[in-house]
Structure 1
Amino acid sequence: MITTFRKFFQSKLGIAFTLAFLGLIAIAFASADVSGNNPLGAISSGDKIAVVGDEKVEAAELDRAARNALEQMRQNNPTLSMPAFVEQGGLEQVVDTLLDRVAISEFGKKYGIRASDNLINSQIRLIPAFRGPDGNFSEQMYRDAISRQGLSEAQVRDDLGNGLIAQQVVQPAGLGASMPDKISARYAALFKERRKGSIALLESDAYAPAGAPTDKQLAAYYSANRGDYIRPERRVIRYATFGEEAVGTIAAPTDAEIAARYKQDASRYAAKEERTLTQLVVPTQASADSIRQRVLAGASLEAVAREAGLATAVIGPIAKGTYSSQTSAAVADAAFSAAQGQVAAVARSGLGFHVVRVDAIDKQAGQTLDQARSAIAAQLTDEKRRLAFNELAADIEDRFGSGESLIDVARELKVEVKTTKPLTAAGVVYGTDGETAPQELAPALATAFQMEEEEPQLAEAVPGVTFMLFEASQITPSAAAPLTEIREQVVADWRRAEGAKQAKLAAGRVIERVEGGETLAAAVAAERRALPPVDFIDTTREDLARSQRVPAPLALFFSMAQGTQKQLEGPRNIGWFVLDLDSIEAGTLAADDPLLGEAKRQFAQTLVQEYEEQFQNAIRADVTVERNQSAIDALKRSLAGDSQP
């Protein structure tokens, strides 16, 4: 029902845009390190792909939007390539979405709607990619992020400003939308509606020609369906791992180093005493003394506190210094002077007067230098090994930066270089039935699919334990498989496609027989083909609503009139469905049925979308949009890897 406005916010390919609220650039940051510096091929980055009102939309902006859209889709489909994205209509969707958003922004500006600097600043601070480790906005993170995107601050602010204007323009169109109760009740009753009938599938394979196509027929079919045969990008990864053993023998700590560390950590080796305390804090000394005397006489501190309408608190185990900082020196002195099980003398802190019972005492003897020597020596040796390990890693990065090869570095480290089979970005060995990349390669796989060929890098395989050298030694770009390599598959697909054409004709014949009085089962049997048995349907809309995904034939079945027949093409040339609806039993709904409230909410959402769609149509009529189709086509060819004009 809602198509135009949904196109504005969401691609048919499932691209997770919310362009009107944060804009393309914000989404680019949300999708992480998407490069904005990719070449545009034959088209200049300054070429216009459209003029919307007074706003020029340049090819660079569309290029960036397309690449960010692809990155969004790769979150669910890591192997999706740009050629496949373009082939499936992704670029056209991005163009429509981009121009619609600019049109809304121009419409807003035309009628005096603006996004102030402060409003844009607040939106920038809300973007997670710009937050530092403390969760707050970081100016440095912001600068680094837009730099990685190849963007200027002006571009970021302009794009966010346009998105904020779009938000102010579009959202009010649907405010307060509500459907009358009678219409909502009528709609809700449909969920109780029961339908009976039958559905048949006339499979394409049953009607497919037995003979092979001519070379001309096969070439034409392959050319028209190249998008179905695009292979994902494959990479062969070379890698080697090494641990701390690569640094060799570490010199033992000297006596002077051990003594210095012992002195540095003197508090660690000193004798310690920690106590577990139960305390009660009261406002006056008289009250505290009275409570203490009752406890000394045998009463429970907790019971006395409850009688007074107060509560005790258990503290610890805690050291004297820490307890002193939480209370006062006087309170800590009293608590750490009393014996275990005793109530300390009353003392005062800024909170009041403390009545403290000593529940437990844990005394730990200190260690002399000789007693701590072996532990300190082991600690220092481990630190030296880690330091040498990190220095080795830094040296390797410098050598890679100077052009030294992975093979040479691995040879010096005396570690084995391993080579994977061709892998996809999903970590699957290409051409196998689920074989995956070595598990040890997992931390570096994503980076390996972003790096240039023969560009070795260093990464931590197991943080603090193991490093990995790796590079993409062979890159096979995503492209349609040559017909010569997949001829048998294409022939099979051609047969199925031809069979689908005949299955469509057969569906027409079956419907004619049903209209003539035959049952659907009898009409299908008359085809004298090996076809699946007819499915008999007896279900309600409510049953259908419980399904996470409603099959297309059932969706059509619930939109037909009683006593009618329909035919529906199946996906990917599987065949044609024939539907026969025998009867419809109207549903009834109780006055207090929760479906009524749910229907009203759904209708309100639908009305909002309808109002916004109509408003969007009005904006398109008000703001002139002139497309430069030749520039769009040139960018499309560039993104698809096709240099032909």
Structure 2
Amino acid sequence: MLSVFRRLIKSRFGALFAILFLGTIAAAFILGDLSSGQYGTSFGGGGTAAKAKGYKLTETELQERIQRVFENARRSDPGLQVNDFFTQGGAAQVYDQLVASLALRAFADDQGMHISKRLVDAQIAQIPAFQDAAGNFSQENFRNLLARERLTERDLRDDISREILQRQLLTPIGMGVKPTDSLVLPYASLLLEARQGTIAAIPAVAFLDEKDPTDAQLADFYKRNADRFTIPEQRRIRYAVVDAQRFAQAAQPSDAEIAAAYNQNKAAYAAKQNRTIEQLVLPTEAAAKAIADKVKGGTALSAAAQGAGLAVATLADQTPAALTSTAGKAAADAAFAAKQGDLVGPVRGPLGWLLLRVTAVKDIPARPLAAVREEIVATLRVQKEKQLLTDFTGKIEDQIADGATVEEVVKDNGLKLETSPLLLA
């Protein structure tokens, strides 16, 4: 399919068709799968801001991206305020760019286009910010810059993959020649043209020679069509199956290993508390205080927000770390210090002033070693089986590299040699 697409866009008419086709695809994804664009009133929720087939843009991801763009804009314009940023269309522009990336990525999947990890690695190594004074890739600079920008390595790789896809999909189309009206008109007119005609069917048997072919004709036909009468190359493969059951006993973790794994991940099994929180983002502190006064007077937070033309986002099962990443440390500390039903704020957040209300508190007790023993055993067993298999295959490769035959390697390691039937490529 990809080769057909590439051949199509080489023609001038094909370039026009490809542009219209990609535009139609993008419009279909946007109109069919996206929300109504109310991204400016309920950031921070766990919902979906946009989707294209199997790809989703969550509200959290959208908020984080807008926050990074806003912070970068403030570096060049320190006086820029968040309400000015929204008024100038900054958030809408970020949203449109992310939506277009989702649509192109889904279209690329349909065409069988994928970006390899090696290609992304090469792009990362060429970024000057990640290089040292000698011009070589620096892992330390790479980690420091990601930490400063509050980016994960996965987010960076996803961004680079989307940029590569955009170049591969859109650059060839942009290089195409725009057809003139005199060229487009004949093609467009074909849609309005109808013709009638007569077809006469002549069977192929009418052209058959009544005489049998001569030996010379047969020899000549055989020579010109030798590939049709040649058997392709076939190969027989000898192999030995290494069953994971071979390592089952050795992969069984000991009590000491189980205890060590539990202590190493003790934080994951410790007691913790999750909270469900309603969040409202407002552009100014004065607006936030006005809403807070209405809530303290007995109006529900959702009703007060609706009266101001806004919407409340519900953050379900939040941990302190999760809430810190979306609302900031000050808001998270205040929310986890409040009681259920309390209103918190106004608190300054990444995108404005926040009002928070704790709607549910869920205490999760600590899990002792006895409760998670089977879970740890299963994890350790898989890890040890993989390591044992790696060591075993390394041993076999070393034996073959030292000159041992396949038969000797199979015999020394207690394996069974199998032989496949003749196979085609």
Superposition TM-score, scaled by structure 2 size:
0.51
Contact kept? 1:236, 1:419, Cα under 8 Å: yes
Number of the residue aligned with 2:347? 348
Aligned equivalent of 1:361: 361
Match of 1:200 in 2: 202
Cα distance in 1 for partners of 2:179, 2:379 equals 68
Q: Which amino acid aligns with 1:345?
A: V
Query: Partners of 1:355 and 1:280 in 2: how far apart?
Result: 5
Partner of 1:262: 262
Aligned residue number for residue 539 of structure 1: none
Q: Secondary structure at the match of 1:195?
A: coil
Q: How far apart are the structure 1 equivalents of 2:344 and 2:274?
A: 18
3-state SS of paired residue (1:132): helix
Matches within 5 A, 1:24-423: 132-133=119-120, 136=123, 179=182, 184=186, 188=190, 192-203=194-205, 207-209=209-211, 213-214=214-215, 218-247=218-247, 249-250=249-250, 252-282=252-282, 287-340=287-340, 342-346=341-345, 348-351=347-350, 352-423=352-423
Work out the CA distance in 2 between the residues paired with 1:198 and 1:253.
81
- Post-superposition shift, 1:304? 0.4
Paired letter, 2:345: V
8 Å Cα contact 2:279-2:357 kept in structure 1: yes
Q: Which residue type is aligned with residue 343 of structure 2?
A: A
Whole-angstrom CA distance in 1 between matches of 2:380 and 2:414: 26
- Rounded to whole Å, the distance in 1 between the matches of 2:348 and 2:267 is 26
Find the aligned partners of 2:118 and 2:228 in 1 and give their Cα distance: 41
Whole-angstrom distance in 1 between the partners of 2:182 and 2:7: 28
Q: In the alignment, is the contact (CA less than 8 A) between 2:344 and 2:357 conserved in 1?
A: no
Q: Secondary structure at the match of 2:123?
A: coil
- Stretches of structure 1 lacking an aligned partner (at least 5 in a row): 1-9, 21-126, 140-170, 426-645
Alpha-carbon contact 1:288-1:354 (below 8 Å) kept: yes
- Measure the CA separation in 2 of the matches of 1:321 and 1:202: 78
Structure 2: distance between partners of 1:404 and 1:315: 62
Q: Which amino acid in 2 is paired with 1:200? A: I
| 2:385 match: secondary structure | helix
Distance 1:308 1:361, change over 3 A: same
Contact 1:278 1:313 in 2 (8 A): yes
Contact 1:269–1:366, Cα closer than 8 Å, also in 2? yes
CA apart distance, 1:196: 1.1
Q: 1:135 to 1:306 in 2, by over 3 A?
A: farther
Deviation at 1:271, TM superposition (A): 0.6
Structure 1 residue 337: Cα displacement: 3.1
- CA apart distance, 1:222: 2.6
Mapped partners of 2:192, 2:353: distance in 1:
71
Cα distance between partner residues in 1 of 2:409 and 2:295: 74
Task: Kindly tell me the number of residue pairs found equivalent between the two proteins.
Answer: 269
Query: For residue 193 of structure 1, what is the amino acid of its counterpart?
Result: R
Query: CA separation in 2, counterparts of 1:321 and 1:200?
Result: 79
Distance in 2, matches of 1:395 and 1:312, equals 61
Q: What SS does the corresponding residue of 1:316 show, helix, strand or coil?
A: strand
Write the deviation string for residues 188-229 of structure 1: whole angstroms up to 9, x where unpaired: 49952211141212428954545x855x66444433442442
* Aligned partner of residue 276 in structure 1, secondary structure: strand
Change (3 A) 1:130 1:389: closer
Which residue number corresponds to residue 51 of structure 2?
A: none
Quick one: distance in 2 between partners of 1:328 and 1:229?
Answer: 73
Unaligned runs of 5+ in 2: 11-113, 127-174
Note the C-alpha offset of 1:415.
4.5
Equivalent AA in structure 1 for residue 119 of structure 2: G
**Residues 332 and 254 of structure 1, relative CA distance in 2, 3 Å threshold:** same
Kindly tell me: are residues 193 and 309 of structure 1, through their superposed partners in 2, closer, same or farther at Cα, counting changes over 3 Å? closer
Instruction: Work out whether residues 337 and 344 of structure 1, in 8 Å CA contact, stay in contact via their aligned partners in 2.
Output: no
Task: Tell me by how many angstroms 1:265 deviates.
Answer: 0.8
Secondary structure class of the residue paired with 2:423: coil
* Amino acid across the alignment from 1:355: L
Q: For each residue in 1:374-396, what CA deviation from the matched residue of structure 2 results, as whole angstroms up to 9, or x when unmatched?
A: 43344323322221111112222
- Is the 8 Å Cα contact of residues 240 and 416 (structure 1) preserved in structure 2? yes
1:305 is displaced (CA, Å) by 0.8
Query: More helix by proportion, 1 or 2?
Result: 2
CA–CA distance in structure 2, aligned partners of residues 410 and 17 of structure 1: 50
Letter in 2 for 1:301: L
Distance 1:415 1:129, change over 3 A: same
Mapped partners of 1:401, 1:262: distance in 2 = 40
Q: In 2, Cα distance between the equivalents of 1:178 and 1:233? A: 54
Q: Distance in 2 between matches of 1:283 and 1:17?
A: 51
Cα pair 2:251 2:385 within 8 Å, conserved: no
- Offset of 1:185 from its aligned partner? 8.7
Give aligned-pair identity as a percent: 29
**Aligned-partner Cα distance in 2 for 1:138–1:267:** 35
Distance 2:286 2:193 in 1: 74
Change beyond 3 A, Cα 1:359–1:240: farther
Distance 1:353 1:196 in 2: 77
Distance of 1:415 and 1:384 partners within structure 2: 21
Residue deviations 1:73-131 (CA, integer Å, cap 9, x gap): xxxxxxxxxxxxxxxxxxxxxxxxxxxxxxxxxxxxxxxxxxxxxxxxxxxxxx97895
Tell me the SS of whatever aligns to 2:119. Answer: coil
Distance in 2 (CA, whole Å) between partners of 1:277 and 1:332 is 10
Q: What is the CA–CA distance in structure 2 between the aligned matches of 1:206 and 1:268, rounded to whole Å?
A: 82
| Secondary structure of 1:291's aligned partner | helix
Q: In 2 relative to 1, CA 404–176 (structure 1 residues): closer, same or farther, beyond 3 Å?
A: same
Greater Rg over alpha carbons, structure = 1
The 1:195/1:417 distance shift into structure 2, 3 A limit, reads farther
Structure 1 residues 135 and 191, CA, compared in 2 at 3 Å: closer, same or farther? farther
Residue identity in the other structure for 2:301: L
Amino acid at match of 1:132: L
Q: Give the deviation of 1:409 after TM superposition.
A: 3.5
Per-residue CA deviation, residues 570-628 of structure 1 (Å, 9 max, x unaligned), is xxxxxxxxxxxxxxxxxxxxxxxxxxxxxxxxxxxxxxxxxxxxxxxxxxxxxxxxxxx
The 3-state SS of whatever aligns with 1:317 is strand
Q: Does the 8 A contact of 1:278 with 1:356 survive in 2?
A: yes
**In 1, are the aligned partners of 2:331 and 2:349 still within 8 Å (CA)?**
no
Rounded to whole Å, the distance in 2 between the matches of 1:202 and 1:397 is 61
1:365 deviation in Å? 0.7
